[in-house]
């Protein structure tokens, strides 16, 4: 099984009328998201979490800065993040 470490599972999803490729999040990435969520305390870091999810799961998004991500429509980013979380086994599962 060790030979499978680092293997990525991908899926194409719609974003802004185009297709992007998303990767399933790893356990380490999910744990980092949980840490970001718990560290929020009284401040709202939802954009930081959204940016983390997108830059870690969307192919080609790793070079996007926070200010780049803020240029996209929020509804589209939320939908993309939901697709990523669902594909990774988190959140609501469509039937």
Per-position pLDDT tens, the chain of length 95: 888 887 788 999 999 999 999 999 999 999 998 888 887 666 778 888 999 999 999 999 999 998 999 999 999 999 999 999 999 988 764 54
B/e letters for 10-45, b = 16+ CB within 10 Å, e = fewer, are eeebebeeeebebbbbeeebbebbeebeeeeeeeee
The pLDDT score that the predictor gives to residue 6 is: 78
The pTM score is 0.83
- What are the φ/ψ torsions at residue 18 (nearest 5 degrees)? -120, 175
The pLDDT score that the predictor gives to residue 45 is: 80
Coil, strand, or helix at residue 17?
A: coil
The pLDDT score that the predictor gives to residue 5 is: 84
User: What's the first-to-final CA gap in the chain, in angstroms?
Assistant: 30
């Amino acid at each position: 099984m060790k030979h499978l470490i680092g293997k990525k599972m991908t899926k194409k999803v719609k974003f802004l009328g185009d297709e992007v490729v998303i990767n399933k999040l790893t356990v380490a990435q999910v744990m980092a998201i949980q840490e970001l969520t718990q560290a929020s305390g009284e401040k709202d870091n939802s954009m930081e979490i959204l940016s983390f999810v997108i830059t870690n799961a969307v192919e080609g998004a790793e070079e996007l800065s926070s200010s780049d991500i803020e240029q996209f429509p929020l509804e589209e980013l939320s939908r993309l993040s939901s697709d990523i979380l669902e594909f990774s086994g988190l959140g609501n599962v469509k039937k």
